[in-house]
Amino acid sequence: MTMTQQQQHEHADVERLSIGQVAERTGLSVHTLRFYEAEGLMVDPVERLAGGRRSYRADDVEWLTICTNLRSSGMPLPEIRRYAELVREGAGNEEDRLDLLRRHREEVLDRIAKLHGWLEVISHKVAVYEERLDHGATGRLWVQECALLDRAIEPAD
Amino acid sequence: MTMTQQQQHEHADVERLSIGQVAERTGLSVHTLRFYEAEGLMVDPVERLAGGRRSYRADDVEWLTICTNLRSSGMPLPEIRRYAELVREGAGNEEDRLDLLRRHREEVLDRIAKLHGWLEVISHKVAVYEERLDHGATGRLWVQECALLDRAIEPAD
DNA sequence: CTAGAAGCTAGAGTCGACTCAAGGTCAAAT
DNA sequence: ATTTGACCTTGAGTCGACTCTAGCTTCTAG
């Protein structure tokens, strides 16, 4: 009975994944996975097989899913690293983690609000164009647009 | 009667602004103003005074305001350049401009939708933390979080 | 007339977040 | 035995959008 290296490590088959498999499952590239690890984004450095290859546990993949969630919603890597550090430290700092998450949520809300503002400006511009095109009055159009746009609601950047 | 160079250019005082003044009014740095011009973002290259200094007209400033609106709402420079080109070409391509604006509006709507999705995920996570902290059950919390998060709505990236 | 502020250009540097290249190792299959 | 393909590390390159530097010119105020 020759077990593959995948299996002979630790007690049988605790579902270890290679970097390639994790890449598939998370949608991150293998480059990015190595990069994230080097950046200290993992809660613990990924375990290795005999040959030095990374062997991801289910936990790692779940954590990476959290990371991509946070990244996609605009959290910068240093803040994710901070979060990872808190988790690494273990129980006792849940308030801090909650804080971090709440602050991030505020940021997302903020960005949504700003985008809504810009959306209005743009929609207004689109509306102006549509109206003018319907009326066939196209000459020197853009100068008028400018004036209109300036008068439009301008969300604070 | 010695006029300043600012005024003697063309017929008297048609409100010409220096790059510094435009920077003040638009919130862009002088560097950025020169950079935008070099990138072809202006409808026409900015006029110059005798000494080679830029002399912005009201139009230019209005256009720059449009640019900052578009930038803030996430339009990349190449697309703004494209828009500038259309305007530069003059009347006749209003449909194209409208198209571009409409597409941009869609993108903004899209980004808002995605952010709403991420917001839900994060809010859920925050809620879980809050509940757990209330109940004082903090051990091995983050692993549970992972599971919860994975089950949460995951907007397509 | 001169000092200092503000402009000018060309080109280099920065930052965040990857992304890729070179050169080597390791393991399963032919 | 060797080929293939996935992995490894280190370090460099890319991209977008600025941002700054160096060295020079040009106004404007005293």
At A13-29, the pLDDT tens digits run 578 999 999 999 999 99
Domain with A75, as residue range(s), is: 1-90
pLDDT at B4: 39
Phi, psi of A48 (to 5 degrees): -120, 150
> Tell me, in Å, how far CA of A32 is from C1' of D14?
15
Q: Are residues B84 and B125 in the same domain?
A: no
Q: Are residues A13 and A83 in the same domain?
A: yes
Phi, psi of A135 (to 5 degrees): -85, -5
| Final residue before a domain boundary, out of A90, A122, A139 | A90
Q: Compute the residue count for chain B.
A: 157
Q: Are residues A2 and A77 in the same domain?
A: yes
CA distance A81 to chain B (A): 15
Q: What is the pLDDT of residues A44-103, one digit of tens each?
A: 999 999 999 999 999 999 999 999 999 999 999 999 999 999 999 988 898 999 999 999
Total domains in chain B come to 2
* CB contact (8 A) between residue A111 and residue B115: yes
- Using the CB atom, is residue B4 less than 7 Å from strand D? yes
Summarize the confidence of residues B124-139 as an average pLDDT.
79
Give the contacts of A148 (CB within 8 A, at least 6 positions apart).
A124, A125, A128
Q: Are residues B18 and B77 in the same domain?
A: yes
- Of B129, B130, A82, the C-alpha closest to B146 is B129
Q: Are residues A10 and A49 in the same domain?
A: yes
Is A97 within a domain?
no
- If DSSP codes are grouped into helix, strand and coil, which group holds residue B17? strand
Which residue is the nearest neighbor of C18, CA to C1'?
A: A32
Summarize the confidence of residues A95-119 as an average pLDDT.
96
- Using the CB atom, is residue A4 less than 7 Å from strand C? yes
Mean pLDDT (chain A, rounded): 84
Q: Are residues A82 and A115 in the same domain?
A: no
Is the pLDDT reported for residue B154 higher than 80?
Answer: no
Report the C-alpha gap between A56 and A58 in whole angstroms. 7
Q: Are residues B3 and B76 in the same domain?
A: yes
- Cβ(A81)–Cβ(A41) under 8 Å? yes
Q: Checking phi first, is residue A135 left (phi over 0); if not, alpha (psi -120 to 50) or beta?
A: alpha
Q: Are residues B18 and B43 in the same domain?
A: yes
Q: In percent, how much of chain A has pLDDT > 70?
A: 78
> Tell me, in Å, how far CA of B99 is from C1' of C27?
55
Q: Are residues B1 and B73 in the same domain?
A: yes
Q: Are residues B81 and B120 in the same domain?
A: no
Q: Are residues B76 and B8 in the same domain?
A: yes
Q: Considering CB atoms only, which of B91, B123, B126 is closest to A141?
A: B91
Tokens, residue A121: 């400006």
Instruction: Name which residue leads in pLDDT, A29 or A7.
Output: A29
Is the pLDDT reported for residue A156 higher than 60?
Answer: no
pLDDT at A152: 47
Summarize the confidence of residues B51-65 as an average pLDDT.
96
Q: Are residues B81 and B152 in the same domain?
A: no
